[in-house]
A = this chain, B = another copy of it.
Amino acid sequence: MMAPKYAPSLRGYLPPMTLLLETTFISLFAFFVEYEDPAVIRTVPLTDVYAAFQDVNAMVLLGFGFLASFLVRYSFSGSAFTLLVTSLAVQWAVLVDGFLFAFRQGKIHIGMNSLATANLCAASALISMGAVLGKTNPAHLMIMALLEVTGFMVNRWILQTFLRVQPVDAIMLLHVFGACFGLMVSWVLYRSGLGPRHEKETTDRRTGLFAALGALFLWMFWPSFNSVLISQAHPESKLQAISSTYLSLATSTVAAFLVSVVTHPRGKINMIHIQNASLAGGVAVGVAVSAVDVPWVAMAIGLSAGVVSTLGFRYLKPHLQLVFKFHDTCGVLSVHGMPGILGWAAYFLIQMVRLSDITEILEFTVFHLCTLLLTLSLSLGLGALTGFLIKWNLWRPPQDRKCFDDQAYWEFPHLAERK
C-alpha cells in the first residue's frame, strides 16, 4: 500500500477537532445558556414559531443536503457533510447570537427564535460551502462554517447597531454574505490541477433526482424561510412575506425554463438550471421582503431573478472559471449572490418610488449603499482570510484525483464485499 494511492486519512484531524469543539461548546452552554423564562415563553404561542422553525430545519438539512448531492460520485459527502456542518454551526450560532444580541446578567436565554436564527445562520454557512464542495475536506468545511457564522453575526450586529437596519433585513443578507464568502475561499483555494472540468464533476439521472428533491424542499418551504422571523404581532407583514415568496418562486421557475430553453442551441432544458434558478425568486424577494407589499412586484422580482440566475449558470459560471480562476461547484454566485443583490436593488427602487422628500431619499440611499458595501467587504475580506488559513498543508487537502470522490472519506462495505 503506497501512501499516495489513498486520500489523507481523516483520523489525524477530524476526531481531535470535533472533540475539542464539542467540549468547548458544551462548557460554554453549561456556563452561559439557559432556557427562556416561562413568563416570556407564555407571551407567544409556541407552536406558531415551531412550525416555521421545522420548515427551515427541513430546508437546511434536507434541502441544502440533497441539493448538494448532485455530483454522481460525491453524493454521500454532499448530504452527510451538510449534516455535520449544520450540527456544529447551529451550536456555535446559538452562542454567538446570544453573546452579541441577548447577553443579559451573564446568561443567554434561548427559545424557538434563537434556534430559528441559528438555523438561518447555518444556511449561510451551507451556501458558502456550496462554492467549495468537492475540493475540500471536512476540516476545511468545519473551519469555514465557524468563521462564516462568526463573521455573518458580526456583520448583522454592525448593521443593526450602527446603521439601524431592521433585524429581518439584516439577516436576509445571508445569501449575499454566504455567497461572497464562499466564492472568495474558492478563489484562494483555486488549483489548476482540477482542470476546466474535473472528470468526476458530473451528474446523472439518479443524483439529478435526489438534487431535484432537495431543490423542491427548498422551494416548498422558502415562504417559511423568509417569514419565520417576522413576529405574529404583524400578521399582515407575515402574510405578505409568505405570499410574495410563493408567487415569486412560481415566476422564477417559469423564467428558469424559459431562459434555459432559449439559450440552448437545440432548445433543451438543463436540469441544473431548473433546480437552482427556480429558487432565485425566493432569494431576491427575501432580501427585499420588508419593502414588497403588492403581489405583482414580487412576481416581477421573481421573474427577473430567475432570468439573471439562469443566465449566470449558462454564461457566467464557465467564463468565471476559465478567465478568473473562480470555480464555484454549486453555482452559489448565480443562486444566492446575484439574486440577492437584485433583491437589494429592488428594495432600493421601491423605496425611491415611495419617498418624496429629497433629504429622505439621500439619507436612505447612503444607508442602503453602506449596508451592501459593508456586507460585501466583510464577507470578501473574511473569505480571503479563511481561504489562506485553510490553504495550509496542515489540513491535508484531498489530492486532485480524489476531489469530487466519496471514496476519499467513506467506507463502502458493498465494494469490499465484491472483492
Contact = CB atoms under 8 A, between A and B. Distances in A.
A50 B242 contact: yes
Interface string A98-113: 0000000000001110
B35 A239 contact: yes
Interface in A199-240: 199, 202-206, 208-210, 212-213, 216-217, 219-221, 223-224, 232, 235-236, 238-240
Chain A, interface size: which category?
35 or more
B11 A115 contact: no
Nearest to A11: B267
B235 A205 contact: no
Given A14-B258, A54-B224, A38 B216 contact: no
A219 to B, nearest CB: 6
A26 B220 contact: no
A257 to B, nearest CB: 5
B50 A50 contact: no
A300 interface: yes
B26 A251 contact: yes
A41 B235 contact: yes
Interface of A is mostly: helix
Most chain B Cβ neighbours within 10 Å, of A62, A249, A254: A254
Contacts of A224: 54
A30 B203 CA distance: 40
A295 interface: yes
Interface of A: 6, 9-12, 14-15, 18-19, 21-22, 25-27, 29-30, 33-36, 38, 41-42, 45-48, 50-52, 54-55, 57-58, 61-62, 65-66, 69, 72, 75-76, 79-80, 83-84, 86-88, 90-91, 110-112, 115, 138, 197, 199, 202-206, 208-210, 212-213, 216-217, 219-221, 223-224, 232, 235-236, 238-240, 242-243, 246-247, 249-251, 253-255, 257-258, 261-262, 264, 266-272, 274, 278, 293-296, 299-300, 303, 406, 409-411, 413-414, 417
A250 B90 contact: yes
A413 B46 contact: no
Question: Copy number in this complex?
Answer: 3
Contact of A9 (B87, B267, B411): B267
Given A47-B47, A91-B247, A209-B210, 8 more contacts: A11-B264, A38-B236, A46-B235, A51-B51, A54-B223, A76-B209, A80-B271, A111-B243
Contacts of A247: 29, 91
A356 to B, nearest CB: 22
A299 B29 contact: yes
B213 A83 contact: no
B35 A203 contact: no
B295 A35 contact: yes
Contact of A216 (B30, B62, B250): B62
A79 B212 contact: yes
A220 B29 contact: no
- Residue picked from A45, A66, A202, A268, most chain B C-beta under 10 Å: A268
